[in-house]
Chain A
Amino acid sequence: MVLKTLDVLGSLHGYGIARRIEQISGDALFVNQGTLYPVLLRLEQEGAIASEWGPSENNRRARFYRLTRAGYKLLETEKRDWEQTAAIIARFFEVKAEDLA
């Protein structure tokens, strides 16, 4: 989700990412927004995202995260994996008893 958010919106600070995910998921995710930060750190350690300090919209110092090339690749594979998984699960739900008979 973080990766996709950054993919769509480009460089963004932590608050922005949290807001965005909140908006899209309709507040269903993120009980605590703070849990985002350990995740960001982990992604950064993996090299999927990079970060730097920069001024926010209202001129506050904020750390901006953006996708790296490895991040794009990771997003692609994750996306493919997810689509595959989702397709398989979907097929299970479509199967009716008479189909198997």
Chain B
Amino acid sequence: MRTLSRVSTRLRNVATLRRGDARLREEMESHIAMQTEENIRVGMSADEARRQARLKFGAVETIREAYHVEEGLPLIEDLLHDLRHSVRALRKSPAFTSVAVVTLALGIGSSAAIFCLMDALWLHPMHVPHPDRVVRIFGTTKQDQEGEFSYPEYKAMAQRMTAFKGPNAGVVAIGGRGSLMPRPDGTAELLLTNVVSDNFFTALGVRPLLGRTFTAQDAERLRTHPAVVLGYSCWKRDFGGDPKIVGRSMTLLRGKDHRYQVDVWGVLPSSFRDTNPDSDRDIWMPTQDWSFMGRGGELSYRWFNLLGRLAPHATVRQAREQAAAVASALAIAEPAANRGRGARVASDFSYRKSNAGTTGLVLFVIAAGVVLLAFVNVAHLLFSRALNRSSEMSLRLSLGATRWIIARQLLLENFLIVALSLVLGLGFAVGLAAVLPRLLVLQPAMLESRTSGLNLHVDFRVFLFASALAFISTLFLAVIPLSRAARPELLTMLPAGSTTHTAARASRLRRAAIWLQIGISFALLVSTASLVQSFVNARTRPIGLTRKQLLIAFTQDPGTPLRNDVIANLRALPGVQSVAYAIRAPLMPSEGGIATKVIFPGQPELQNPVAIKYNAVSPSFLNVTGTRIVRGRGFTAADDLNGPPVVIVSQAMVRKYWPGQNPIGHSVLLPDFDNVMRRGTPLEARIIGVAENAPVNQIGEISEPYMYLPFHLSQMGEVTFVVGTQLNAMSIARDAREALIHVNPLLDPMLLTSLPELIRFSAGDYQMMAELATALGLIGLVLTVIGLYGFLAFLVTQRQREIGIRMALGASREATVNLIARDVVRIAVIGLAIGLVLALAGARLEVAVLFDVRPLDALSLSSALAILASAVLVAAWLPARRAAAVEPMEALRAE
């Protein structure tokens, strides 16, 4: 208590700069006067009395000092004093300060923005309480480690896993589907729907913005009274943010004839849009709704993602063991459906981290390279500055400052620079965060584009990241004052400003730093070149799909006669060359068909049926989408309901099941499909052709076995029209929509986009990487040029006398320039060697994210070399000219 009151008084004294000096002086005077009087009284002479009084009192200055120490907080006062001094020192050299601050700010700001993006895309936890207790449960097979579950499987898992039992815990299921909501004009809007288990919101801890969410207690009621909870965006967009929406009902459609009234129970907050950060769903309904709308049969398919919140004392490990046990129990109970299936539990964070994957890591490494360049640059600047100030430092040393005081002073200057650049860098990051989402392709262009769920905020986490960077840079830069400035020797430094001994040592260190800088910059440029090539390739190389304009309209299948009407309407549109259709167009974001059991009759070694994805297509579909038939024939109009069943397989399927053979003429059994010819037997389809591999879900994916079946075999009830046109496909989108609605308002497309847009969207990661790498590579290059220029300029200044002597002895100006050039070339070559090693290391990492580019290919290397060489020339130009302009007499006289 007493100490506290003392400290607070002192703090107040420091803050108000209050000094009791006058008071002390007066007290001392009166003290001595009284003592003197006393002395006189005992008989001393006046002079002697005063002398004795003073002697008795003690050294006035020492007492003042002691008094002063008692008065304030000396440590803080010294610090404040140093701080003032540092500010003054930095203000004295504004050029140095601003270059250092801007350089560091570029490094800190750009990597903070990258972190912000990575955080938003991948790392940011779900907006629920205690996100660290949330886990993901995946079904696993040999091919797939992140598989989904059917609803009955979910029920079995939820029932048996005790690690999720408890009041605020549980396993939840969530599956993405689409619902149609009628518009007043007779068309319908597609609402992105999450079908979830009824305990979803309570188990995860999602609280509504308005109204209430459904809970497990509502299970019975929901069977007869379907309910939905609106997502924030949907509430704003379709209901105008109506605060009285809760309790009202809305209409959902199924097919042409079925309309369902569902009650709106609540609205979700904008902070919870989906379980994945870049996704934004419109409505959330319990599985009971899905059954109510007559789609309960779908629940037995595997399209549910499982999440769980662990019970208070349960661990991920327990959950993992239990999930594996339940999965193997299911496999034993029903071997036909579940053989080879397992289950895996991962914490939500590790799932997000694996999503960021190599893409995130490559970005992170590139950003780290830029930060390192910035650090090295500022270190250069500090070196020069320390050297320039060595006489100042020696002077202060000889005036009695301890080395620690000088080092503290320099540390404080560094700290100020870092603090300033942190502020500036965060400002820079805020600006970048506003621009970055616009650079990314987060969705293909559509007729009515939705707003993306991705918003970048420079939040506390980003601030923490930038501060950590700043802290590291302070530590890094602290080495310089501690190692160098504390070293000036009194005798050697005082007479002349630039003695050669310490300067030589400094320049050796700096030379190494320059090598490193050129090396990092080269590696950055190489990887940037590879990533740009990769992006260009993804947009231009043959991929088994045409790059021509194709409009894509995904809607419900109206059946043959109406479908033909639609085709006739589409053909009549201006500029349309061809119309084809299929269940799905390639690269569409929704899942296509999968034949769960494919049997190969001619191949006894393939006993177990396998699951293979397929598309059901119209005869001209492959022709229109540009997927070539490499063997056999394509479909014709004769391959219809009346013809014998036929199938076209992909090259990847041939490689896997008929390696080195000609599959044409073989057949596959497809028990999933009705055999119209002989009811009750599995459909036997004869292979008539082999199609080249084409991407199904994603550009750059590893080609899986794939089949094409005639469209009449499709049982999905959905159709995608693809319309080839000479015009920009999006320009006929509105007309195409009219053509569909004209046949039936319910044919209003759920997705209306173009193939080039889907390709652009699918190549979005390559584009993001290329754009970000280019920006970072450029920043890195600029930093390197500044660093190299600074170093060479310093070198020329250092060697001014030598150059002067050489010139005085008859060296020509060319020879002088050559002298510098030789130095530059030596630096550049060593730097490139280091860079090559770094690039080699980077290439091992990068190979996974490149599209059709071998890392370290000739083009990347040579373009990086060319860019770096011209940058070095630019950096060397001015210093070399300055060296050539040295006047021998002046240089010698200057010493």
Contacts and interface: CB of A to CB of B under 8 A. Distances in A.
Do A and B originate from a single complex?
A: yes
Contacts of B59: 32, 34
A19 B31 CA distance: 10
B475 interface: no
Classify the secondary structure of B's interface with A: helix
Given A32-B57, A33-B58, A42 B6 contact: yes
Interface string B46-89: 00000000001111101100110111000000000000000000
A46 B67 CA distance: 15
Interface residues of A, number: 25
A32 B6 CA distance: 25
A37 B30 contact: no
Interface in A8-67: 13-15, 18-19, 31-35, 37-38, 41-42, 45-48, 56, 58, 60-63
A34 B28 CA distance: 8
A41 B71 contact: yes
Contacts of A61: 26, 30
B27 A62 contact: yes
A62 B66 contact: no
Given A35-B66, A56-B34, A63 B58 contact: no
Contact of A41 (B5, B38, B67): B67
Contacts of B27: 14, 37, 62-63
B291 interface: no
Nearest to A74: B2
Interface string B1-38: 01001100110000000001001101110110111011
B5 A37 contact: no
B31 A41 contact: no
A47 B166 CA distance: 57
A33 B71 CA distance: 19
B63 A41 contact: no
B67 A37 contact: yes
Contacts of B26: 61, 63
Contacts, number: 78
A45 B10 CA distance: 8
Q: Which of B20, B34, B58, B60 has the most CB of A within 10 A?
A: B34
Contact of A13 (B9, B30, B60): B30
A93 to B, nearest CB: 32
Given A38-B66, A38-B70, A33 B31 contact: yes
Interface string B387-416: 000000000000000000000000000000
Contacts of A48: 2
B63 A37 contact: yes
Contacts of B35: 15, 33
B58 A56 contact: no
A90 B827 CA distance: 81
Contacts of B34: 13, 15, 56, 58, 60, 62
A38 B30 contact: no
A23 B55 CA distance: 18
Contacts of B9: 45
Interface of B: 2, 5-6, 9-10, 20, 23-24, 26-28, 30-31, 33-35, 37-38, 56-60, 62-63, 66-67, 69-71
30 contacts: A13-B30, A13-B34, A14-B27, A15-B34, A18-B31, A32-B56, A33-B31, A33-B35, A33-B56, A33-B58, A34-B57, A34-B58, A34-B60, A34-B63, A37-B27, A38-B63, A38-B67, A38-B69, A38-B70, A41-B67, A41-B71, A42-B6, A42-B70, A45-B6, A46-B6, A58-B37, A60-B30, A60-B34, A61-B26, A62-B34
